[in-house]
Homo-oligomer: A and B are copies of this chain.
Amino acid sequence: MSVSPFAPKSLPKLPPVDGVRIASCEAGIRYTGRMDLTLVAFEPQAVAAGVFTRSKTAAAPVEWCREHIAQGVARALVVNAGNANAFTGMKGRDAVGLTAKATAALVGCRQEEVFIASTGVIGEALDPEKFTDKLDDLVGRLDPAPWEDAARAIMTTDTFPKLATRTVQIDGIDVVVNGIAKGSGMIAPDMATMLAFVFTDAPLTQQAAQTMCEQGVEDTFNAITVDGDTSTNDTVMLFATGAAGARGVSEISETGDAGGVALAGAIEDVLRDLAHQVVKDGEGASKFVSITVEGAESKNAARRIAFSIANSPLIKTAFAGEDPNWGRIVMAVGKAGEAADRDKISIWFGDIRVAIDGEVDPDYVEAEAATYMKRAELDVRVDVGVGAASARVWTCDLTSEYIAINADYRS
């Protein structure tokens, strides 16, 4: 499997986040010769917030996190790759419970303060001993530095680890926001086979953390698609240790405060950065495409039209073929089911206006659009001519490599 052409030349160097320590290891859950288990430990005052898949067949670890997120305290996060612990019935629930119990005993906290995420194959029983055996070692090696190890240990079909960081000043004091994510296929709103974890030392109430997490996901992880498939395990979590409070940052309980606005902006930036990396590592992706829909009746309508375009196999194959096949965009606008005035639709590829008022632009020169389509990053903009609302989503192209990756027998 070839590495995505969008893989970064060098990975961002993430600074420590006060109150966060990490350790990763090879647990041999499915893969050999690579790390597949990560433990993140938090100082006692840390709060957790999260957004989870809306799948009706959500995995056992997702149910666990959803159940315990409201109590708000986080002391540990355990993530494994290779097995999603999804569709595993009572055995799956038991595996989660055993993991939480073992981790709580070692970290010295209550079980419900341990959050758990899994990613990988669905439907195979996860043997919790494979990693409860490793937790002792992980706890002994906890360290503020090894972010890249953690980003690598949560990968499945990802071709590069996904890291992002921002530093923001609150009360004149530097606060760090770090994030790691994994995801490559089965990517769609709401959220995908996608795990993303964001960590900050800002002092946040649980409620403020939850609001920032939900708002941050809205135009980032909920605005991307690779293949329109939504996973059983999608998880975005935000952990705030509050350690910057000791350096003089006052607690943020209102997202509208100056400090809250700055922090929420940094969190959204990190989430967007990670979300874009997920699309750029979309299985078989050779194009990164931004789709903007304007002139819609509502933001939801604009977004549904944008996703109708972003998920269309015919449009995604046309991107792969570098074909400015705007007729297929008209098709996708039409099939979205949202209000659109066929005779007022306009379409742009980058700055090239292809269609205006429901017809091909008289000045359109297809050779120019064909040249534009050769770029690695494309902007498609559509005005559907009925209102003033807009939305933007990101997708990649659909190539024969996607087929090769996903048609191969699981091995």
Instruction: List residues of A whose CB falls within 8 A of some B CB.
Output: 53-58, 84, 86-89, 91, 121-125, 185-186, 188, 227-232, 311-314, 317-318, 320-323, 325-328, 330-340, 342-343, 345, 355, 357-360, 370, 398-400, 402-404, 406-410
State in angstroms the CA–CA spacing of A240 and B54 once bound together: 48
Q: Which 4 A-B pairs have the closest CB atoms?
A: A122-B327, A321-B407, A57-B334, A55-B334
Interface centre among A323, A333, A406, A408 (most CB of B within 10 A): A406
State in angstroms the CA–CA spacing of A343 and B370 once bound together: 50
Q: Which B residues touch A370, using CB under 8 A?
A: 409
- Considering the complex, give the chain B residue whose CB is closest to the CB of A320: B407
CB pair B123–A360 under 8 Å, yes or no, is yes
Q: A330-B232, A409-B323 are in contact. Are A402 and B317 (CB under 8 A)?
A: yes
CB pair A355–B313 under 8 Å, yes or no, is no
- Considering the complex, give the chain B residue whose CB is closest to the CB of A121: B327
What's the least CB distance linking A173 to chain B, in Å?
43
CB pair B403–A227 under 8 Å, yes or no, is no
Interchain Cβ contacts under 8 Å between A and B, 25 examples? A54-B337, A55-B331, A55-B334, A56-B338, A57-B340, A84-B327, A87-B358, A89-B343, A121-B327, A122-B330, A122-B331, A123-B359, A124-B327, A188-B335, A229-B328, A230-B334, A230-B335, A231-B331, A232-B331, A313-B313, A317-B406, A320-B407, A321-B406, A321-B409, A400-B403
CB pair B122–A406 under 8 Å, yes or no, is no
Partner of A89, one of B125, B318, B335, B358: B358
Partner of A318, one of B325, B332, B359, B406: B406
CB pair A185–B314 under 8 Å, yes or no, is yes
Q: At the interface, is chain A mostly helix, strand, loop or mixed?
A: loop
CB pair B325–A359 under 8 Å, yes or no, is no
What's the least CB distance linking A410 to chain B, in Å?
6
Q: Which B residues touch A89, using CB under 8 A?
A: 343, 357-359
- Considering the complex, give the chain B residue whose CB is closest to the CB of A343: B89
CB pair B328–A57 under 8 Å, yes or no, is no
Partner of A229, one of B313, B338, B340, B358: B313
Partner of A330, one of B123, B312, B343, B408: B123
State in angstroms the CA–CA spacing of A58 and B232 once bound together: 36
New A-B contacts (6) at CB < 8 Å, excluding given A91-B359, A124-B327, A317-B407: A57-B345, A123-B355, A124-B360, A186-B314, A229-B314, A320-B407
State in angstroms the CA–CA spacing of A228 and B317 once bound together: 13
- Considering the complex, give the chain B residue whose CB is closest to the CB of A188: B335
Q: Which B residues touch A88, using CB under 8 A?
A: 359
CB pair B313–A406 under 8 Å, yes or no, is yes
What's the least CB distance linking A352 to chain B, in Å?
15
State in angstroms the CA–CA spacing of A312 and B230 once bound together: 10
State in angstroms the CA–CA spacing of A324 and B328 once bound together: 32
State in angstroms the CA–CA spacing of A138 and B406 once bound together: 49
Q: A56-B339, A403-B403 are in contact. Are A334 and B232 (CB under 8 A)?
A: yes
Partner of A337, one of B56, B335, B398: B56
Q: Which B residues touch A57, using CB under 8 A?
A: 330-331, 333-334, 340, 342, 345
CB pair A123–B327 under 8 Å, yes or no, is yes
State in angstroms the CA–CA spacing of A323 and B411 once bound together: 10
Q: Which B residues touch A326, using CB under 8 A?
A: 123
What's the least CB distance linking A308 to chain B, in Å?
9
Partner of A334, one of B56, B317, B321: B56
CB pair A87–B410 under 8 Å, yes or no, is no
Partner of A410, one of B323, B335, B339: B323
CB pair B328–A122 under 8 Å, yes or no, is yes
What's the least CB distance linking A188 to chain B, in Å?
7
What's the least CB distance linking A402 to chain B, in Å?
7
